[in-house]
Amino acid sequence: MVPYDQETIVALATPPGVGALSVLRISGESLVPFYKQLTKTSPKIRFAAFCKLHHPETGEVLDEVVATYFKSPKSFTGEDMIEISCHGGEVVQNNIIAAILDGGARLAKPGEFSFRAYMNGKMDLLQAEAVASLIASKSTYSTKVGLYHLDGRVSRQLMNIKSQVIDLLAVLENELNFSEEEIDATSLDEIASRIKLLRNEVSAIVNASSFGRQIFSGVRVVLFGKPNSGKSSLFNALLGYDRAIVSSTPGTTRDTVEAWIELEGLPVCLIDTAGMWESGDYLDNLGIAKTKSELDKADLCLLVDEDDPTLIQADHMKIPVILIRSKCDIDQQVSQSNGVVRVSSKTQLGIKDLLTHLSTYCTKVTERSENNSFAVMTTRRQRTLLGDAHGVLSEALKQTSENIGTDIVASTLRQFIVCVQDIVGEIPNENIMETVFSEFCIGK
Amino acid sequence: MKSQPTIVIAGCGHAGIEAAWAAANIGVKVIIVTMDTNAVARLSCNPAIGGLGKGHLVKEIDALGGIMGRAADICGIQFKTLNKSKGRAVWSLRAQIDKHQYPHFVSECLISHKNIQLVEGEVVDFSVDNLRITTAILRDGSRINTNAIVVCSGTFLNGIIHIGNAQYPAGRIGERPSVGLTHSIVNHGFTMSRLKTGTPPRLLSESVDWDLAALAHGDVNPRPFSVLTKRPFAPENIPCYIVDTNKAVHELLEDNLSKSAMYSGKISGAGPRYCPSIEDKIVRFKSRQSHQLFLEPEWRGSNQIYVNGFSTSMPANVQLNALRQIPALRNVEFIRPGYAIEYDYFPTSQLKSTLETKRIDGLYFAGQLNGTSGYEEAASQGLIAGANAAIKTMGGDPFVLGRHEAYIGVLIDDLITKDIHEPYRMFTSSAEHRLSLRSDNAGSRLTAKGYNAGIVSNKQLKIQEQFDNEVSELKLGCKKLKTQINGTSLSLYELIKRPERGIINDVEGRKLSGKYSSDAIFTAETDIKYEGYVNIENARVGKLKKLDGIKIPPTFDYYKLTSLSSESRERLSIIKPETLGQASRLAGVRPADIGVLAVYLQSSS
């Protein structure tokens, strides 16, 4: 990470390309002179001024814009900032950026605006990560959860748990600090029951956070079955039915294909696999390995078979399975059997039913996270640390039940506090800083 | 002609003694200036050394070649390990001390050291050249040329004793205060403040009805403080006695609260929260019907009894009437009443981790004038200040103990980074490495390091090495020994990790340990039991410890970093922490700002 150099930086804040308007952001130490150079007027704080934008050196008029000046520290970065809404189109944008660079600014690096905001105490690490999540956000719902992080709600909830652990620790420490002669000891049972309550709170967040991954990284649905069982047709039918396609990319191995749809506000990734029965040559084995790894990562499996999916051994699956009888247009006579969705990709029979099943699953995901008041860990870093924190409380609980000294229980609780401090970024760690901010795109 | 480097120690209490001893062992000439050469090494308050946290300090002082542990073993009349129900890392030894024998033994040690000279006098001023100490100036006008002065003035700087409404200047009961030195120090730009502490009344033994008090013995087979103390250790076990306060005592004190020096606002200094006066306890713990009081003999065959738990600044007659509400003390007489003393202290953010002042080279502060409470805390600081004063004159590297190495390291780091609003007492909870900083492994942690600094004798190093070898052999032996538990085979090493299991509970373990000392067995066993937890603790603290390795240049301009909050910026600029670790522990500095500072320091280096 480069030192915080306090140079004036500029970047386009809206996506590149053609639009009605584009927004440019400038951040720096003291921007009043620069504002005057650009607009030939004096800035009013937090006032959107309609004005002509001039080249700072030649004075040439580049565009008619709305310019807003934010005075430090009341801005996104905590520095002086100028936001310029100019006309859309690459030519105009590029001319204006070039002029601003001529005026002494430089282009911002990815995440640099957020980095400066963090450095200036405008946001904590969770909020910074939320900005990154929001930018990468694939769906409506993830945006909503990201925003809860941004207003600091999740940090507050964690800090509240932390302060409860500190209170409990204070009781233990007090007893360690004074001899049996001086003060009476609290019973281990009471300490255990307090730890149990706290662990429940952390459990709730951990549980919600397994959904957090689904909310931010998407629900992964794998289509699985014998070759020629109609998986690919079903894949296409599902995509064709739902018009909210996000993307469609071929898998890195020749045999899986991914595509995104949005259901109930969640991003859903459909994965078409090679299936498990192909054998023989080397390339097919590669395909099987890929399928296995997709199943390991998946949240939901669509088990497709044209005869009877209930006969296929799916005991080893650790995830929910929806059984699908395919090609039902060919043989209409087969009797209905319980729990099997009958579909025909050709006639669209049952496709709507299947989408309803998937939507129900997605609704459960969002409901469960909503029940947990949105304290959802959105990144792998946060989830890993919170998992550690949960394990630490379980360990403390175990220690209270064994005849282990309270010195050790206290040490374990201290470890919990460090985990929480780590999640919210109270412990400086340059690696975290780099990973968090490098995930940003330019202009944020 | 260049003569032997000299350092002057001002004061000969527990800080001054260890400072002199460490410096003299390094090889400089030490001149102790004390106001009364008959009043060295006094235990001005309780007749005991050690206790929770403090016992750890005594073990560490001993591991570093200091005097306190040895003296306590020789002058101890009852030994007890406290906190035995709470885990071995917090077990702590306390000894009742013969207050007459202790100063006598310590004086002999000092006088017989070839590098130590004891001078009666009072340091009232000093000269500096280019912000470096050159001369100590005594009250009688005499001057001592010196490379360093270690100020260990205890409660003597502008001391004022309060007993109820009465007050008079004194350094300790019956002794003059020291006046003048504060003025000189403040003139050099130091800030000064006031603290207070108190001591309970002393009773006439014959006036106590001992039959009505409960007996409190020490441990039967105690371990001594010092590795140099000969085994088997078989000290005396002279009992103390316990009585309880009652409703009548509390009411009497409450009715007279306005007469307490502390409650009537006569004392401006803040008092110790953790060693509160009896009037304090009654106000703060209103719901408690009774407080325990320990009646402790002050020396062998003493007719003077210390009332532990009854520190007070009430008028003498109120103290007496209150105590007489207790059946065993119905006819009690005082040898002298309890009193409070108020004295000057210098906020310790003005010190480096060597206890040298940041402002003047060669000026060191140690002990109660740094705002601490207790003999052990004072002695620990004396040792570090004295050692560093001597090492600096000889041109060596500073002798600093990390928070992960010793309670002494925690104590000093706390002093220089935290705001002290009341006398600082050592607690085990202050140590984030509590599980590895045990009493029983103090020598293994510190003795080699002390030897390299020149403060530990060769003899002590050899004893320690022998001990460490025994411990490693035992641990290895436990790994090799297989034993059967419920049909499964596992090593004794793994078995010992379980609660309630030990080396000598096991038949094979007993055979293995036969030729080793009980101290080595205890430490080996505890090492094994704590190993897993210590690893977790180290990983936890390791995250933070990295910050201690990041140095902040003394000239660092915090105002350049506009992104710091103004409060943090101000604190950091005033205190000028030596490392990022210290900065992170400063009161009033936001964690977010440490993150900013970390990124800045790492990326600009």
Q: Are residues A197 and A243 in the same domain?
A: no
Q: Which residue of B56, B83, B543, B560 is the best one to mutate when testing the A interface, meaning the one whose CB has the most A CBs within 10 A?
A: B83
Q: What is the pLDDT of residue A244?
A: 36
DSSP state of B98: -
A3–B603: do the CB atoms touch at under 8 Å? yes
Domain enclosing residue A66, as ranges: 9-123
Q: Say which of A120, A407, A430 has its CB closest to residue B599.
A: A430
Q: What is the pLDDT of residue B550?
A: 81
- Per-residue pLDDT band for B415 (boundaries 50, 70, 90) equals very high
Q: How many structural domains is chain A composed of?
A: 3
Amino acid at the residue A415 = Q
The answer to whether the CB of B45 falls within 8 A of the CB of B425 is: no
Nearest-CA residue of chain A relative to B580? A428
Confidence check: pLDDT of A248 > 60: no
Give per-residue pLDDT as tens, A16-28.
Answer: 666 778 889 999 9
Rounded mean pLDDT, B531-536: 91
Nearest-CA residue of chain A relative to B544? A427
Q: What is the pLDDT of residue B266?
A: 61
Q: Say which of B86, B543, B591 has its CB closest to residue A405.
A: B86
Which residue among A59, A93, A123 closes a domain? A123
Within a domain: residue A131?
A: no
Ranges A69-78, B54-63, B358-367, B483-492: which has the least confidence: B483-492
Ranges A108-117, A391-400, B409-418, B448-457: which has the least confidence: A108-117
> Distance between CA atoms of B510 and B525, rounded to whole angstroms?
12
Q: What is the pLDDT of residue A315?
A: 61
- Per-residue pLDDT band for B528 (boundaries 50, 70, 90) equals very high
Rounded mean pLDDT, B533-544: 82
Structure tokens at A243: 């018009």
Q: Are residues A197 and A223 in the same domain?
A: no
Collect all residues of chain B within an 8 Å Cβ-Cβ radius of residue A4.
Answer: 563, 596, 599-600
Within a domain: residue A255?
A: yes
Rounded mean pLDDT, B183-212: 94
Q: What is the pLDDT of residue B145?
A: 96
A4–B88: do the CB atoms touch at under 8 Å? no
Q: Are residues A224 and A345 in the same domain?
A: yes
Q: Say which of A179, A402, A425 has its CB closest to residue B595.
A: A425
Q: Are residues A145 and A84 in the same domain?
A: no
Across the A:B interface, residue pairs with CB atoms under 8 Å apart total 122
Sequence-ordered alpha helix ranges (H) in B273-395:
278-284, 316-323, 375-394
Q: What is the 3-state secondary structure (H, E, C) of chain A?
A: CCCCCCCCEEEECCCCCCCCEEEEEEEECCCHHHHHHHHCCCCCECCEEEEEEECCCCCCEEEEEEEEEECCCCCCCCCEEEEEEEECCHHHHHHHHHHHHHCCCEECCCCHHHHHHHHCCCCCHHHHHHHHHHHHCCCHHHHHHHHHHHCCHHHHHHHHHHHHHHHHHHHHHHHHHCCCCCCCCCCHHHHHHHHHHHHHHHHHHHHHHHHHHHHHHCEEEEEEECCCCCHHHHHHHHHHHCCCEEEEEECCCCCCEEEEEEECCEEEEEEECCCCCCCCCHHHHHHHHHHHHHHHHCCEEEEEECCCHHHCCCCCCCCCEEEEECCCCCCCCCCCCCCEEECCCCCCCCHHHHHHHHHHHHHHHHHHHHHCCCCCCCCHHHHHHHHHHHHHHHHHHHHHHCCCCHHHHHHHHHHHHHHHHHHCCCCCCHHHHHHHHHCCCCCC
Q: Are residues A232 and A334 in the same domain?
A: yes
Confidence check: pLDDT of B508 > 80: yes
Strand order in the sheet with B214-216: B214-216, B240-244, B292-297, B304-308, B202-204, B334-336
Q: Nearest-CA distance from A108 to chain B in Å?
A: 18
Q: What is the pLDDT of residue A138?
A: 55
Count CA atoms closer than 13 A to B23's CA, side-chain side. Answer: 36
A429 touches chain B (CB under 8 A): yes
The answer to whether the CB of B379 falls within 8 A of the CB of B408 is: no
A428–B594: do the CB atoms touch at under 8 Å? yes
Binding-face residues of A in 210-239 toward B, CB within 8 A: none
Rounded mean pLDDT, B84-89: 90
Q: Are residues A227 and A334 in the same domain?
A: yes
Q: Are residues A206 and A235 in the same domain?
A: no
Q: Are residues A342 and A227 in the same domain?
A: yes
> Distance between CA atoms of A433 and B111, rounded to whole angstroms?
59
Q: Nearest-CA distance from A418 to chain B in Å?
A: 7
Rounded mean pLDDT, B226-249: 95
- State which of A335-349, B61-75, B305-319 shows the largest mean pLDDT: B61-75
Nearest-CA residue of chain A relative to B438? A407
Q: Domain of A239: which CATH number? A: 3.40.50.300
Q: Domain of A201: which CATH number? A: 1.20.120.430
Nearest residue to A319 via CA among A341, A303, A336: A303
- Token look-up 């940003």 returns A440
Ranges A310-324, A364-378, B95-109: which has the least confidence: A364-378
> Distance between CA atoms of A348 and A345, rounded to whole angstroms?
5
- State which of A144-148, A333-337, B159-163 shows the largest mean pLDDT: B159-163
- Per-residue pLDDT band for A249 (boundaries 50, 70, 90) equals very low
Within a domain: residue A241?
A: yes
Which residue among A96, A123, A150 closes a domain? A123
Q: What is the pLDDT of residue A280?
A: 44
Q: Which residue of A184, A427, A433 is the best one to mutate when testing the B interface, meaning the one whose CB has the most B CBs within 10 A?
A: A427
Within a domain: residue A30?
A: yes
Q: Are residues A169 and A227 in the same domain?
A: no
Nearest residue to A97 via CA among A206, A200, A211, A8: A8
B264 C-beta neighbours (distance < 10 Å), count? 14
> Distance between CA atoms of A256 and A253, rounded to whole angstroms?
6
Q: What is the pLDDT of residue A145?
A: 59
Q: Say which of B294, B428, B565 has its CB closest to residue A121.
A: B565
Q: Is the ipTM of this complex over 0.85?
A: no
Q: Say which of A6, A119, A402 has its CB closest to residue B596.
A: A119
Amino acid at the residue B488 = T
Give per-residue pLDDT as tens, A161-175.
Answer: 888 888 888 888 878
B479 dihedral zone (left: phi>0; alpha: psi -120 to 50; beta): alpha
Within a domain: residue A441?
A: no
Q: What is the pLDDT of residue B573?
A: 86
> Distance between CA atoms of B10 and B304, rounded to whole angstroms?
30
Within a domain: residue A200?
A: yes
A124–B599: do the CB atoms touch at under 8 Å? no
Rounded mean pLDDT, B225-236: 94
Q: What is the pLDDT of residue A391?
A: 92
Q: Say which of B51, B563, B584 has its CB closest to residue A119.
A: B563
> Distance between CA atoms of A97 and A25, rounded to whole angstroms?
10
Nearest residue to A257 via CA among A295, A301, A222: A222
B592–A124: do the CB atoms touch at under 8 Å? yes
Q: Tell me the domains of chain B and their CATH numbers.
A: 202-340 (2.40.30.260), 461-538 (1.10.10.1800), 550-604 (1.10.150.570)
Q: What is the pLDDT of residue B245?
A: 94
Within a domain: residue A444?
A: no
Confidence check: pLDDT of B432 > 80: yes
Average pLDDT for chain B: 91
Q: What is the pLDDT of residue B401?
A: 96
Confidence check: pLDDT of A278 > 50: no
**What 3-state class would DSSP assign to B274?**
coil
B590–A121: do the CB atoms touch at under 8 Å? yes
Instruction: Give CA A379 to chain center in angstroms.
Output: 5
The answer to whether the CB of B342 falls within 8 A of the CB of B269 is: yes
> Distance between CA atoms of B327 and A123, rounded to whole angstroms?
64
A3 touches chain B (CB under 8 A): yes
- Per-residue pLDDT band for B287 (boundaries 50, 70, 90) equals confident
The answer to whether the CB of B550 falls within 8 A of the CB of B541 is: no
Q: What is the pLDDT of residue A337?
A: 59
**What 3-state class would DSSP assign to B371?**
coil
Q: What is the pLDDT of residue A49?
A: 92
Q: What is the pLDDT of residue A125?
A: 72
Q: Are residues A299 and A414 in the same domain?
A: no
> Distance between CA atoms of B170 and B167, rounded to whole angstroms?
9
Q: Are residues A153 and A271 in the same domain?
A: no
A412–B536: do the CB atoms touch at under 8 Å? yes
Q: Domain of A68: which CATH number? A: 3.30.1360.120
> DSSP characters for B551-570?
B--TT--GGG-TTS-HHHHH
Q: Are residues A144 and A273 in the same domain?
A: no
